[in-house]
A and B are shown apart, each in its own frame.
Chain A
Amino acid sequence: MKAAAPTYQGSREEFLTTRLDALVDMLRQYGVNWARKNSLWPLPFATACCGIELMGVGASRYDIARFGAEVMRFTPRQCDLLICAGRVAIKMMPVLQRIYMQMCEPKWVISMGACASSGGVFDTYAVIQGIDQFLPVDVYVPGCPPRPETLLEGVMAVQRIVEQEGIRTSRERGRGLRLTVQPAAELVQIGTEARS
């Protein structure tokens, strides 16, 4: 996506701007996205168990600061990444929607854990069966709750989206990429010890 070259009066300025324009273009392509993807400000919408793992991600061992996303802000107006951690009850859904609407563009949403993505084990009257029914979601992180490494993988997935799609607003992105983090579990045969 190429920005329209601004028209300037005067020859000297024109000379400067053509050079600058190329630079700005490059910066827009790489620099801005690079800076933006490494400075995501998450809003921890932590409702349940996943919230504790989210605290674990922010704490000393896993340290989300390595990915530039340690600046947790609790007001939606300062954030650009909504991490919905935990199940959303019927009474909480309007709150989540209001918080999403209050966030400024551009914004991304991670649905963390089985409950936020699909309702998880709580197939009951009181739990929303996946927040993506009522809210656009960019990345689904599986797990109940996801291990911190999986959430970091989810943050990196958002970074890839930012890298590829740039700083387009939600309206321009349409349905978006809707990535799902693949569970990278190593399968071990059960019962080998007992047999040998």
Chain B
Amino acid sequence: MMSDIPATSPRPQAFGGTTYAPEEPGSDVWVLNVGPQHPATHTTLRHVLELDGERVLSCTVHIGYLHSGFEKLGEHLNYNQYVVVTDRMNYVSPMANNIAWHHACEKLFGIEITPRCKAIRTIIAELARIQDHLVCVGCSGLDLGGYTPFMYFFNARELIYDIFEECCGHRFTTSYTRVGGLMQDVRPRWAEMVKHFCTEVLPPAIVDFEKLLTRNRIFIERTKDIGYLSRDDAVNWGVTGPLARASGVRRDLRKDEPYLCYADNWDGQGTRGVEFKVPISDGGDCLGRYLVRLEEIRQSAHIIMQLVDNIPAGPVNVLPDDKQTLPDKAEVYFSIEGLIHHFEQIMTNRGHTPPVGEAYGANETANGELGFYLVSDGGNTPYRARCRPPSFINYQCFEKLVVGHQISDVIAVLSAMNVIAAELDR
């Protein structure tokens, strides 16, 4: 491919072409560059810290080191194809992104999914939340110098991978949802695995976590009163998720704008929504964030146990009569109608016929409110697929949180925020 760029066009430099003022001679201020390749930044974040000794005077954040054009790609892939890209968005809990994406799509199409699908989606959304919190909490232990918690947390996480592999065939990038349903139904063995995880694996693991971190004096002293975020600031900055709840914001989309099985009457027969509590901390510091996450893990397990024995029978996909959903694979392979229907869906000049308009659908994922704002011109692909990324919006206040702390506290604040670079830069 020929390059359209003239030879004189500026190439990106190793630090993104951004410069900062050099240290003035004789001044005590020292400029330290952290990232973009640094173990404690987890992925690709870059901070430029101005230091007075070890105290942080100011912090400038540079992002975009993982910008991959997700939203541009969303304009060229159809509503089923884009789910593959959402896997790679918050790659710590891909299932939650799948569900959020198709939640928004179904809002646009006006599809009400089946009760069985709702129950399965709720279970995997909660498993994804556990999965995400496990990495976040494990890595905050790792960043603060404890390697052991990381090993314990990952052990529990591997079992969630097994559960996902059982239902969709891949342990990591799942792409499990489709418009109006799921890729395939789950087998009875899957429910057994989920139950085994929630009763046999997770409770002793949580006891281990408490021993390793909650009662660990070093961990507490490294996180208590570090990175304080007040409630008003959290609201004004647009912070959501565990970060906001650790600052005392009473907001959880599962309670405030209920969807899936969190809503009452989700199966059309008057069943109440699942019972759970939303943990709130008024500490506003890193310890509060850790405690909120740990409690959310317990509540998620509680939600899963309510549902896993009561998954309603019936089809997992809505009936393909309105030609919006993909037909069952067995039908595609062994009947001519199914094959025609499948082709109608996947051929580039056919496919989805959404109404012209715009829709916003949001889910409460592990990091906060993950929303998709879809603009449709009636065509096969979205006209615009905007993602409201919780990491991006949460991460803004980082520059303010670390001022006045020591360098080592910068790492503590960062790991308690759980910034996922792919979701941040998209």
**A adjacent to B, CB under 8 Å:** yes
A interface with B by C-beta (< 8 Å): 45-49, 51-53, 55-56, 59-61, 74, 86-87, 89-95, 97-99, 121-122, 124-127, 144-145, 147, 190-191, 194-195
Instruction: Give Cα A194–Cα B333 distance, bound, in whole angstroms.
Output: 9
B65 at the interface (CB under 8 A from A): yes
Query: Taking the nearest CB of chain B, how far is it from the CB of A165, in angstroms?
Result: 27
Q: Provide a sorted-by-A list of 26 A–B residue pairs whose CB atoms are within 8 angstroms.
A: A47-B65, A48-B91, A49-B87, A52-B172, A55-B154, A56-B154, A59-B154, A60-B151, A60-B154, A61-B155, A74-B37, A74-B38, A86-B43, A89-B64, A89-B68, A91-B16, A91-B65, A92-B36, A94-B13, A95-B15, A121-B73, A121-B85, A122-B69, A125-B69, A127-B69, A191-B330
- A74 with B39: CB separation less than 8 A: yes
B333 touches A190 (CB 8 A): yes
Residues of chain A with a CB closer than 8 A to B38's CB: 74
Q: Are A45 and B66 in contact (CB under 8 A)?
A: no
Cβ of B350 under 8 Å from chain A: no
The CA of A53 and the CA of B154, in the complex, are separated in Å by 11
Interface residues of B in 71-116 (CB under 8 A from A): 72-73, 84-85, 87-88, 91-92
With both chains docked as a complex, state the minimum distance between the C-beta of B412 and any C-beta of chain A, in angstroms. 18
The 3 closest A-B pairs by CB, nearest first: A124-B69, A59-B154, A194-B330
Complex interface: chain A residues within 8 A of B43 (CB): 46-48, 51, 86
B365 located at the interface, meaning its Cβ lies under 8 Å from any Cβ of chain A in the complex = no
Task: State whether B37 touches A95 (Cβ < 8 A).
Answer: yes
Given contacts A48-B422, A124-B68, A191-B333, contact A145 B173 (CB under 8 A): yes
Is the Cβ of B66 less than 8 Å from the Cβ of A87?
A: yes
Does B14 sit at the interface, judged by CB under 8 A?
Answer: yes
Cβ–Cβ contact A147 & B171, under 8 A: yes
CB distance from B254 to the nearest CB of A (A): 25
Are A93 and B12 also in contact (CB < 8 A) when A51-B43, A56-B154, A87-B66 are?
A: yes
Q: Which residues 318-343 of B have a CB within 8 angstroms of A?
A: 329-330, 333-334
Q: Would you call B422 and A49 a contact (CB within 8 A)?
A: yes
Residues of A within 8 A of B263 (CB): none
B12 contact from A55, A61, A90, A125, Cβ within 8 A = A90
**Tally of contact residues, B, Cβ under 8 A:** 46
For residue B425, which residues in chain A have a CB less than 8 angstroms away from its CB?
A: 89
> Given A59-B154, A92-B65, A94-B14: A52 and B91 within 8 A (CB)?
yes
For A72, give the chain B residue with the smallest CB separation.
B39
Q: Closest residue of chain B to A73, judged by CB?
A: B39
- B88 and A89 within 8 A (CB): no
B-side contacts of A45, CB under 8 Å: 37
- Contact residues in B for A98 (Cβ distance below 8 Å): 14
Q: Is B158 an interface residue (CB 8 A)?
A: yes
Nearest A residue to B44 by beta-carbon distance? A47
Please provide the chain B residues from 1 to 35 with a CB less than 8 Å away from any CB of chain A in the complex. Answer: 11-16
Known contacts A48-B91, A49-B91; A125 and B72 CB within 8 A of each other: yes
A95-B334 in contact given A47-B66, A89-B65 (Cβ < 8 Å):
no
Judge whether A127 and B88 touch: CB under 8 Å. Answer: no
Known contacts A90-B12, A125-B69; 17 further A-B pairs (Cβ under 8 A): A46-B42, A46-B43, A47-B66, A48-B421, A52-B91, A52-B135, A55-B154, A56-B154, A56-B158, A60-B154, A89-B425, A126-B69, A144-B173, A145-B173, A147-B171, A191-B329, A194-B333
B65 touches A194 (CB 8 A): no
What CA separation (Å) do A61 and B334 show in the bound complex? 41
Chain A residues near B152: list those with CB within 8 A.
Answer: 60
Minimum CB–CB distance from A126 to chain B (whole Å) comes to 4
Choose among A92, A94, A121 the residue with the greatest number of B CB atoms under 10 Å from its CB. Answer: A92
Q: Is the CB of A48 within 8 A of B66?
A: yes
Chain B residues whose C-beta falls within 8 Å of the C-beta of A147 in the assembled complex:
171-172
> Least Cβ distance of B168 to chain A in Å?
14
CA distance A190 to B39 in the complex (A): 43
Looking across the interface, which residue of chain B has its beta carbon closest to that of A96? B37
Chain A residues whose CB sits within 8 angstroms of the CB of B37 once the complex forms: 45, 74, 95, 99
